[in-house]
Amino acid sequence: MSNVERVIPEDNDIIAAIDGMKNKSWQWVAAMMATYNLRDHEAFLCEVDWRDYDGQRWLVALVPDGTKTGKRETFPLPPEWVDRWKLWNVRRPSVTVRMNKDYGDRTSTAFQRAKMPFPPYSLRHAWSLRAALWLELPTAVASQFMGHNPNVNLGTYQKHISKERAAQTYFAALKKKQSV
């Protein structure tokens, strides 16, 4: 387990950065990574499909086998980002790669060129924290959407919850409990 301190961008910073991307193909990749907790190569390899759940239609990302975490279906968080960036309109950049790692190299370069204020992988971390702190999704469920076990989620992603976010979440939960 790494002891790297990672600054996880707030949602408003993610929105501003992705909205500011001039290249619409790379904007789509970044938006998919942010909205669906995808690794860079998964954004290139996934399919998107409308599915009916709970009486509503949802655009889900279908990650195929052959990726680091294997085949899975994942949901948008927050759902509004699907419409914001029209994620059903698939606009992948045309890149040639020999292995999944090459997608990561291309994505990192594209983020640097676009002067993104955070690295691509921070978007996956942000999704995990959003799932835990905003949606209050059980770790086991969030982990399934991310394609790994709950211990990985806690040890890799949720360990980056800042003191400020922890305090905000505590007080929001307390207010919610007191209003019941």
Q: Say what the pTM is.
A: 0.86
Q: For residues 128 and 114, is the Cβ–Cβ distance under 8 A?
A: no
Which value, to the nearest 10 degrees, does the dihedral of the CA atoms of residues 29, 33, 38, 41 take? Answer: 30
CATH topology of domain 11-178: hpI Integrase; Chain A (1.10.443)
Q: What is the pLDDT of residues 79-107, one digit of tens each?
A: 999 999 999 999 999 998 888 889 999 99
Residues of the chain with pLDDT under 50: 1
Taking phi first (over 0 means left), then psi (-120 to 50 degrees means alpha), and beta for anything else, what does residue 58 get? beta
Q: What is the pLDDT of residues 155-167, one digit of tens each?
A: 666 666 777 877 8
The domain locations on the chain are 11-178
Proportion of the chain above pLDDT 90, given as a percent? 57
Q: Residue 36: which of 159, 118, 128, 133 has the closest Cα?
A: 128
Query: How would you class 26 by CB atoms within 10 Å of its CB: exposed for 0-12, middle for 13-18, buried for 19 or more?
Result: buried
Tally of CA atoms within 13 A in the half-sphere of 147 that contains its CB: 21
What tokens were used for 38? 């995808």
